[in-house]
Amino acid sequence: MANIGIIDVDGHNFPNLALMKISAYHKSVGDSVSWVDIGKYDKTYMSKVFTFTNDYEQTFAELGEVIRGGSAYNYDNLPTEIEHIMPDYSLYGIRDTAYGFLTRGCPNKCSWCIVPNKEGNICENADIEEFWDGQKNAVLLDNNVLAHEHGLKQIEKIARLKIAIDFNQGLDARIIANNEDIARLLGAVKWGKPIRLACDTKSQIPHIEKAVNLLRKHNATPKAYFVYVLVKEIDDALERVEFLRGLGLDPFAQPYRDFENNIKPTKEQKRFARWVNHKAIFKTVEYKNYV
């Protein structure tokens, strides 16, 4: 029996799916698995998703063989026997929520997104029951689940199972706008969180408007519609944010980061994002008056 150490370099603000699968696999073969603490380990897995978080530097334990993974380290895939195992939700004390990917990859090639390089074109990944074991809720991490027939069939199954869903990475408004059957399907889903969309360029404005109208027509009625807004040029982002406000949607500003060239958000981009994302201020103060 090996002693396996686990390190979530980014912290525990959001459960790391890869680490939960690694933990499940090693426990299934009789190994002991725990978060790294004072002690000696035969093997340690370190996962880091975000390039802007601090790296792991503590040395209070003997880590043994160290295996690093996650987008901030590399684009390596988990071995098949680990990728397709029921996650060990006890690692984070999770009881009522499942996490996983129905599909992997994305057919779009947005210049700011690492997914095409990391995962390639969209493809089938898993059935919902591979990572869902009767929990009330499920968080789906797909990058463009509506762009693949497997994803649509799984959404039909999720609706039948009455799982409360959060499509955490957002849904493609262009696909919804061009296919009312998909809007009708999403209207049959039980929503655990807001419907998440994205309005990263002004060209998406008419698609957002049509998609939202279709979703509302077919009674896709979570508490809110949440829309990611990529922030490059402030005037451009402000126009999109005000459009979303006019539709009764909830914008969430994300300052642009260039991971490959290590270009960080500007002070003005951060300032704009604070204004948008602090809802008490956003609802009462115009941006031109924001200090």
Domain boundaries, the chain: 1-81, 82-289
Give the three-state DSSP class for 236.
Answer: helix
* Long-range Cβ pairs for the range 216-219 (8 Å, 24+): 217/183, 218/180, 218/183, 218/184, 218/186, 218/187, 219/187
In terms of Cβ atoms closer than 10 Å to its own Cβ (0-12, 13-18, 19+), residue 38 is exposed
In terms of Cβ atoms closer than 10 Å to its own Cβ (0-12, 13-18, 19+), residue 245 is middle
Provide the pLDDT for residue 54: 85
- Checking DSSP bridges between strand 65-69 and strand 195-198, what pairing results, if any? unpaired
pLDDT digits (tens), the chain, 291 positions: 899 999 999 887 899 999 999 999 999 999 999 999 988 999 999 999 887 788 888 778 899 999 999 887 788 889 999 999 999 999 999 999 999 999 987 767 666 566 666 766 788 999 999 999 999 999 999 989 999 999 999 999 999 999 999 999 999 999 999 999 999 999 999 999 899 999 999 999 999 999 999 999 999 977 789 999 999 999 999 999 999 999 999 999 999 877 666 778 899 999 999 999 999 999 999 999 998
- C-alpha count within 13 angstroms, C-beta hemisphere, residue 165: 31
Provide the pLDDT for residue 278: 96
Q: Global pTM?
A: 0.89
Q: Which residues of 43-73 are buried (b: 16+ CB within 10 A; e: fewer)?
A: bbbbbbbebeeeebeeeeeebeeeebbbbbb
* Cβ proximity of 222 and 260 under 8 Å: no
Provide the pLDDT for residue 260: 64
Closest CA to 212 of 203, 201, 221: 221
